[in-house]
Amino acid sequence: MTFCLKILGSGSSVPAYGRLHAAQLLTINNTYYLIDCGEGTQLSLMKFRLKQNRINAIFISHLHGDHYLGLTGLISSMHLLGRQKPLKIFAPPGLSEIIAIQLKYSNTVIRFETKLTELTEDTLYLIHETTTHTVHAFPLSHRVPCWGFVFREKPKPRRIIKEKLPDNILIQDIARLRSGMDLSDQSGKVIYKNKDLTLPPKKSRSYAYCSDTVYDPQLISYIKGVDLLYHESTFLKEKEDIAAKTYHTTAEQAAKIAKAANVDKLIIGHYSARYRTVSEFQSEASKTFGETELALEGKTFCVEE
C-alpha cells in the first residue's frame, strides 16, 4: 500500500530559480493530503498529473503568504471542476475569514462544503483520524502562530498464512488470529498457536512536517522515530544569526534535530531566495545526519511497509 510524499514547492518567501512556494502532497493508500498551499501549487499538481479533486484534506501550517496564498485559487478550481465531496481544511485562526472575503468580493459560491478546523493547542494533539491512520498537530516556534503535523499509520493486523489455515476455519477465528490471539477449543485448550498460522504485521509508517521554525530541540519529542522528517532549512550555517533573527533554521540545525529524534530520513527545504543552487544544503546537513535528501519540485519519497 502507498505511503509517498511528493514535493510540489520547495522555496521560501520569494519564488526563485525554479523553486515554488511551499506545498507537498502526501498519499496514504488512496487518501490525498495537501500540506501547505503556496502560489504555484495548482501548476505543480497539473505538471505532475495529480488530480486536485482527489485531495481529501489540506493542512496549512501558518499564515505567511508563501504557505497559503494558493489556497483560494485551488478551492475555486475545485469548484469549477465539479467537486462535490466535502473538503477538510486544518489551519490557524484567521484563514476562514481570508477565504470568505476573497470569495465574497469575487461573487463566488462554492458548490461543495468546506470544513475548516482551527489549530489552537500548544501541544501535540489529534486533529484527524481514519480507520488506518492519524494526524496530530504540534506547535512550532515562528514569528506568527505555526504548527507542524505528524501522520502515522495505526498498528496493522498480523498477516495470515493462508496455506497453513485449517479446513473450515470460521471467519471470527481468522479475525482472532489477525489480532494476535491463539485459537482455543470450548474447554479453553489452545489448539492452534498464533505464531504457527500468522506472520508479523507490516510496518506502520510515519511522516512529520516541520514548517517554518527557529531551531528548537523541544520539537524532538513530537517527531521522535518517524520514518520521514521534513524540516525547514532556510539558510546555511554562515547565516545562522539571520536564521535566529527571522525564526528560521539552518541545514546543520535541521540535521541536529533529525539525529536527536532518531528518524530514518531527513528531507530539507524552504530554501532562501539568496541561494541560486541548493546542493550545499545537503552537504552541510549530511555531515551531521547522513540520511539527508533535498526537497526538490517533483521529487517523491516513499516508505515501504
Q: Please report the pLDDT score of residue 216 as a whole number.
A: 96
Pairing of β 265-269 and β 228-232: parallel
Instruction: Provide the CATH topology of domain 3-156+202-302.
Output: Metallo-beta-lactamase; Chain A (3.60.15)
In this predicted structure, the answer to whether residue 153 has a pLDDT above a threshold of 90 is yes
- The catalytic position among 36, 66, 212, 227 is 66
Sign of CA dihedral 210, 213, 217, 219: negative
pLDDT band for 170, please (50, 70, 90 cuts). confident
The span from the CA of 64 to the CA of 9, in Å, is 15
Residues 6+ apart with CB under 8 A from 43: 20
Q: Please report the pLDDT score of residue 177 as a whole number.
A: 78
Short-list 51, 53, 20, 54, CA closest to 37: 20
Which DSSP helix (H) or strand (E) runs through 88? Answer: strand 87-91
In this structure, how many other beta carbons lie within 10 angstroms of the beta carbon of residue 168? 6
In this predicted structure, the answer to whether residue 131 has a pLDDT above a threshold of 80 is yes
What are 247-288's pLDDT values in tens digits? 999 999 999 999 999 999 999 999 999 999 999 999 999 999
Residues 6+ apart with CB under 8 A from 60: 36, 37, 67, 68, 71, 89, 90, 91, 92, 95
In this structure, how many other beta carbons lie within 10 angstroms of the beta carbon of residue 139? 21
Sign of CA dihedral 229, 232, 236, 237: negative
Mean pLDDT (whole number) for 99-126: 95
What are 193-250's pLDDT values in tens digits? 888 778 888 899 999 999 999 999 999 999 999 999 999 999 999 999 999 999 999 9
Residues 6+ apart with CB under 8 A from 145: 62, 63, 92, 93, 119, 139
The span from the CA of 292 to the CA of 254, in Å, is 10
Q: Please report the pLDDT score of residue 82 as a whole number.
A: 95
The span from the CA of 232 to the CA of 222, in Å, is 16
Mean pLDDT of the residues in the chain: 94
Cα dihedral 122→127→131→132 (10° resolution): -60
Distances in Å between the Cα of 261 and the Cα atoms of 22, 73, 106, 289 are 23, 37, 46, 11
pLDDT band for 18, please (50, 70, 90 cuts). very high
Q: Please report the pLDDT score of residue 132 as a whole number.
A: 95
3-state secondary structure of 53: helix
**Domain residue spans in the chain?**
3-156+202-302, 159-199
Strand partners, 146: 140
Least confident of 55-64, 156-165, 186-195: 186-195
Q: Please report the pLDDT score of residue 167 as a whole number.
A: 79
Per the CB < 8 A criterion, the answer to whether 192 and 180 are in contact is no
The span from the CA of 167 to the CA of 180, in Å, is 20
In this predicted structure, the answer to whether residue 188 has a pLDDT above a threshold of 80 is no
Q: Please report the pLDDT score of residue 174 as a whole number.
A: 79
What are 68-112's pLDDT values in tens digits? 999 999 999 999 999 999 999 999 999 999 999 999 999 999 999
Sign of CA dihedral 100, 104, 106, 112: positive
Q: Please report the pLDDT score of residue 255 as a whole number.
A: 98
Residues 6+ apart with CB under 8 A from 187: none
The span from the CA of 206 to the CA of 135, in Å, is 10
The span from the CA of 153 to the CA of 303, in Å, is 11
Q: Please report the pLDDT score of residue 59 as a whole number.
A: 98
66 is a catalytic site residue: yes
Q: Please report the pLDDT score of residue 91 as a whole number.
A: 98
